[in-house]
Structure 1
């Protein structure tokens, strides 16, 4: 796993969190119940297209499984996800001439929707395999994330090629078979195995030439151009909001002022303010969000005391940190930590 990737870096398009929330709403849960203890804001989640970081996703998934007592919830959500939810990546895949092109799109551009996994395609005898390697440890939400991906992949194949002999598909998962393993075979078909080295899906090599039901060369060119443009932005550091977020995440206790940050980017302070404003944010808001996420992560994933967490975030006065944390999440750091640790892992 890459040591250069942090679970606090943006990694998941918010549409997938919204789909999970929608599934919970369909089960009768309201907004307050769904987001309790997650630190997420309903209005922001459903209006802001900035990617969520893994810590946010982890808290939401834990809450969802706690509410539903359904450890295979990710599989159900994935199987119900429309291809349009994948944005330009989904449109590009649908418009490809054949299944070979679809897989190439997924392998190259999946990072635009989920950057915590790296997809690699390869030949294995008479089969074509796609494996997913974790960029960092997905921990207790590994099953939910990988099951969602498996269901999403099956739904995409069906949209592109129509009805498929699912018995020819093989899914492997890097965890022991759970008590609900029959649910996987019910939804994905009989070719499901567990306790593998990593997640992978494979299909007969002959399938690669299957024509797409929705092939559209012109639409494919437009969608692929859009994907390439977005991918270039990711490789160059993303938009200005993401650049600033990543810079702040790299700090520990001593954060640069807006002026210092502008100097680092060889910009005037006014220009950096304008660029962040054009993307719907400002420096203080981003600093606040980064501190909040770091606080939540450290409280949940380390044994550090509240005083030590406050110091790591640059607060000289622990009481000031506690007041700020209460403003963020409506409870004290200790109350939030105890509540989060009480949530059972999937």
Structure 2
């Protein structure tokens, strides 16, 4: 499955443009030919094509390809928070192995152009990195970036547990290789038949400190929704849901959302009706997602959650939650978060 066919969040392009800027490039140079404007990089809901991101990488490589370990420097910027709901799913996973499995399952929600294949032995898990379907001129940068990003997330999730044993690159040894060792934590071997990383299987099986079964389930559901939206197109209901989620607990009303989408409330209502959904139904769906996340914090009282979600009283919130889940918020919290 060619990753160049998938759209992705604009977050990766922002990280890459910031890398270029830190190396002395103007934003105009970084974004040249991408069709993306500098102000677009600040839109947390922005979606771009894989080709647009590849063009930015071409610009970086053309102007700063001589910088040691440029792709590795890029990957070190991809912390788990860059992956949105997928990052939340990974940090909620029971082990590092399961976090990796989640990232592979929803690989279209990552920014990787590489294909990761897992090959296991008794003591090691080898991750083979395949970049055969990306432009040859960019393979070194993308290989470095994707491996460094994978290890950066691993360190975010479990910084006290070293996982990487050895690292083998298929491209020749660069003039300077000290940058690689500084970022990866091991001395890579270059000029190999294929690129792969040897990981400690025992370390991968260690439980993650923030594992949460309910949070993982909720995050996976959101990942599936995001993936379905990106694969099926972008209807108006998708845009409304995204803007409601972006608002967090400060849910905007229909008038504000319509203004944000440059349509009248009447037009918004009509188009949503044509898509078989109402604004109130979308707002309830988002409220349920937010409520489930807030209930994970046992320090928050139900009345506080109700207030945060815009309900006039705790009773109104409890009634709505019972309608959604068939139980009260406290029963839900005690049953699934014990």
- TM-score (normalizing by structure 2): 0.61
Deviation sequence 1:251-281 (CA, Å, 0-9, x none): xxxxxxxxxxxxxxxxxxx98xx88xxxxxx
Could you tell me which residue of structure 2 aligns to residue 296 of structure 1? Answer: none
Q: Return the offset for 1:98.
A: 1.3
Q: Return the offset for 1:19.
A: 0.3
2: CA distance, partners of 1:229 / 1:52: 19
Question: SS at 1:170's partner residue?
Answer: strand
Q: Return the offset for 1:17.
A: 1.0
Contact 1:107 1:120 in 2 (8 A): no
Could you tell me which residue of structure 1 aligns to residue 188 of structure 2? Answer: 192
Could you tell me which residue of structure 1 aligns to residue 10 of structure 2? Answer: 14
1:111 matches 2:108: yes
Count matched residues: 238
1: CA distance, partners of 2:199 / 2:42: 36
Deviation sequence 1:176-224 (CA, Å, 0-9, x none): 2222333212211225223334432221221122121222222211111
Could you tell me which residue of structure 1 aligns to residue 89 of structure 2? Answer: 92
Match of 1:238 among 205, 225, 232: 232
1:57 matches 2:59: no
1:160 matches 2:160: no
Contact 1:92 1:105 in 2 (8 A): yes
Could you tell me which residue of structure 1 aligns to residue 72 of structure 2? Answer: 75
Match of 1:35 among 21, 28, 31: 31
* Closer/same/farther in 2, CA of residues 233 and 119 from structure 1, 3 Å limit: farther
Contact 2:12 2:111 in 1 (8 A): no
Deviation sequence 1:146-176 (CA, Å, 0-9, x none): 211122122111111123346x432222322
Contact 1:128 1:203 in 2 (8 A): yes
Question: SS at 2:76's partner residue?
Answer: helix
RMSD, matched Cα: 3.0
Could you tell me which residue of structure 2 aligns to residue 206 of structure 1? Answer: 202
Unpaired segments ≥5 residues, structure 1: 242-269, 276-346
Unpaired segments ≥5 residues, structure 2: 236-269, 276-338
Q: Return the offset for 1:83.
A: 1.3
More moved, 95-104 vs 106-115? 106-115
Contact 1:169 1:191 in 2 (8 A): no
- TM-score (normalizing by structure 1): 0.60
Could you tell me which residue of structure 2 aligns to residue 170 of structure 1? Answer: 166
Contact 2:83 2:109 in 1 (8 A): no
Contact 2:96 2:208 in 1 (8 A): yes
* Closer/same/farther in 2, CA of residues 37 and 109 from structure 1, 3 Å limit: closer
Q: Select the structure with the greater relative contact order (CA < 8 A; seq sep ≥ 6).
A: 1
Q: Return the offset for 1:12.
A: 4.5
Q: Return the offset for 1:38.
A: 4.7
Question: SS at 2:84's partner residue?
Answer: helix
1:136 matches 2:133: yes
